[in-house]
Structures are given as structure tokens and as C-alpha cells.
Amino acid sequence: MRKALPRKGRTVLCAVVVLAVAAYFAYDFFFAPKPEHKSYAEFYSLVADGRVGEAVLSADGIRFTVGGADAGADASGGAGGSAAVTEYRTDNPASPTLKEYLLLHGVNVKEEKDAAAIISLLFDIVFYLFFFGVFLFAFRKFISPNSFRVVRNTGVKFADVVGMDALKRDMTQVMEILKDPAGYAAKGIRAPKGILLEGAPGNGKTLFARALAGEAKVNFIPAKATDFESMFMAIGPMKVKLLFRKARKRAPCIVFIDEFDGIGTRRNYSGSAIETENTRIVTALLNELDGFEPARGILVLAATNSVKALDEALIRPGRFDARVSVPYPDYEARKKLVAMYCRGKKPSAECTEEALAKKFDGFSCAKIESVLNRAALLASQAGRDSFTMEDITGAC
């Protein structure tokens, strides 16, 4: 295996190449022999006499060859003719009829691009490369097949979810149907296409969805409303189709759409660009939810904080067969949450699990964690190792 040149060696090599190119052009410009100059009138006469064999047209002038006995006489000051071919140059008047005139007199005409034309061509190439590069980047960014990742093992089980015991029991049979859809279909039982998880923010809807996939041991494809937003029109519906196409290939699987009210809102035909895009996304969702068979083993879990904002056609039975409420944690669940979130922290003697569970009545899971973390921070700022109930009150 060849070793790559060190940076210093590459620098020297580039410098040598640049100097060689510069030397070539310098020699060509200053030292290379130049053809003898003739007036344009002489050139025109030579063409008329049929003595010009080839002419090279460029922006800097015209190079032409004269062949035959007369050319030899011209080159030797009138001495004996020979069949030598001599090159000359003359000015280029850029006449629109010049090329036609030369061709009519049997001259082999060639055209050379000048430096400005070559630079212009290079700029055009760079522009198109840049344009298509931006297009490909946008394509990969907004509608790439890798937009939605497939999680084969979420690493979360029901044991990691505190509380929600009734919800876990309700989902047990759904998991069995999801793992063996064909077997249940033979009994006339179809798996639900979708389950809507509703509840206040921070109560663990996303964690529960991951735990359900981990417990069922199926693929998990997470998405959120912002994944379908784009500065380009019609990208949102394309992403919806891409998501469900990937789900069909990875079945059995759970598709989890968080912040569902961000894309599934009621359709509004006001005509604005935003509403038009939202209508297209909802329509694409309707088509996809109707387009796959329950026997394929695909379950759609959608989490929302506001069911009232969702389009009624989207959440009707047959698309979302069950609507499950994720409540605030009860007293027993709050005690378990306090025990879990106090790991690594030092509560004072008065901050028992029971006392804190009563204090946190009506708090979400996320808020309990935030308050305990804030209380520990307040205690640390006061120079204490353990936090007190006063710190808890201040953190609330």
C-alpha cells in the first residue's frame, strides 16, 4: 500500500507544477518565434488568389499558411520557388462575412477560443456544478431516505416506565397482535392501525412509546411534526410517504409521531400557502393510514397535547382505533419518581418520598425531575450538601 505524500511534499509538488505551467506560458509569450505579420489587404489578396491553405481565427488575430512556389519566393525574397508552406499572421477585423469568404475560396478554417471565452466557459461550469450541488444537498437534506432512522432496539422496557399500570395492561394484547398479526388475522382479529396518546406535556408519552417497542421487540421509527416541515412546498407530503414506505419495509414496527397536532390539524381551505401545505400533509396521512393492511404489522402511535385541534377524519375509528389518555402520575407513581430522580442527590430528613409525593400533587413527570434538580442546585449555591423542603418550595 502506497504511503501518501507528506504535506510539505505536496506543497513542493504543487509549486513545481505551477512554475512549470507559468514557464510554458512565459516562453510562449516572450520567446517563441512569431509568424511574420502581413497586412489584412495582403491576406485578402492571397485568399482571392487561392494561395491560403489554412486560417486560424482568434480574437487576437488570424494565423494563416501560404503554400506553393510563390510562398517560397516570398519567404526567400523572390528566389526560386519551392513547395514550402509558410505561416503568417494578420489582424482580425471580426467581419461577420469573413469565415464565409474563406470557405468559399477553399480555405480550411479553424477557430480558437480566446482566454476570455475559456474563462467564461469555466465560470459557467463552476456555476452549474454549484447549482446542482445545492440541489443535491437540498434533496438529501429534505427528502433523503435517511430522514427517518429505524431503531431496532430502544433499550427501554415497561419496567423503566413509572406508573401507567392500566395503560401497560391495555397494551399487552396489542403487543401480541403486533408480533403475530397473521395468527390473529386467522381468528378474525385485526391489529389496531393507530393509537392516539393524549395528555399534558412531560408525562412520558414518548418514553411509553419507546417502551412499547422495546417490550414487543419490534422496530421503532420515531418522528415529530417538525420533521415534515420544509421551506419547499410539497416536501411534507413526500416525507409522509417516505415514512410509511420505510415502515412497510421494516414491518413489524411501531411508527411514533410526536407533536401530532403540529401536522394533523383541521384542514382549512383559506388558500394560504401554509394552510395548503397542511392540507396536503393531512391528506397524505389519510391515504397512508388507509393504504396499509393491519396484517402487515404496522402500528402508528401519535402523541398530542390537544386532541381538539386534530382533523376529525384523521382520528376516526379505522385509522386511530384507540384514544388513550396519559394522566398525571398518581401518589404511588410520584413516590417512585421521587425515589428515581433523587438518585445521586442528598435530600434532608424532612424530604421523604411520602412528603415530596404529596408536595408534587398535579405535577408532571418532567416537572418533578426539574424541581428536584433545581432544589439540589439551590442547596449547592447555599453551600449545603442536602436540599430541604424550603429549597423544594423555592424550586417550584
Q: Are 240 and 257 in contact (CB under 8 A)?
A: no
Cell numbers for 390, please give them: 424550603
Q: Which helix (H) or strand (E) holds 16?
A: helix 7-30
Beta bridge pairs of residue 111:
57
User: Is residue 56 within 8 Å of 62, Cβ to Cβ?
Assistant: yes
Q: Torsion angle, CA of 61/67/72/76, rounded to 10 degrees?
A: 10
| pLDDT higher than threshold 60 for residue 30 | no
- Collapsed DSSP state (helix, strand, coil) of residue 216: helix
CA distances from 351 to 162, 175, 236, 374 (A): 20, 39, 49, 14
Nearest Cα neighbor of 148 from 223, 73, 236 is 223
Give the model's pLDDT for residue 46: 92
Residues with Cβ within 8 Å of residue 17, at least 6 apart in sequence? none
Band of the pLDDT at 307, cuts 50, 70, 90? confident
Q: Which of 84, 28, 93 is nearest to 57 (CA)?
A: 93
Q: What is the pLDDT of residue 76?
A: 46
Q: Which residues pair with 310 in a beta bridge?
A: 265
Q: How far apart are CA 209 and CA 207, in angstroms?
A: 5
11 has a pLDDT exceeding 50: yes
Q: Dump pLDDT digits (tens) for 55-104.
A: 998 888 898 999 754 444 454 444 444 457 788 989 988 888 888 999 99
At residue 226's C-alpha, the angle toward residues 222 and 229, to 5°, is: 125
Mean pLDDT over residues 210-214, rounded? 88
Q: What's the rounded mean pLDDT across residues 300-317?
A: 83
Give, as one character, the DSSP assignment of residue 310.
B
- pLDDT at residue 140 greater than cutoff 70: no
Query: What pLDDT does 395 receive?
Result: 86
Which has the minimum average pLDDT: 119-128, 173-182, 252-261, 267-276? 267-276
What is the model's pLDDT at position 72? 46
Contact between residue 179 and residue 216 where contact means Cβ atoms under 8 Å apart: yes
The residue with cell 500500500 is 1
What's CA 139's distance to the chain center, in Å?
6
Mean pLDDT of 236-250: 85
Q: Give the mean pLDDT of the chain.
A: 80
For residue 79, what pLDDT is reported? 44
Residue of 239, 234, 235 lying closest to 224 (CA atoms): 239
In angstroms, rounded to a whole number, what is the distance separating the alpha carbons of residues 255 and 264?
15
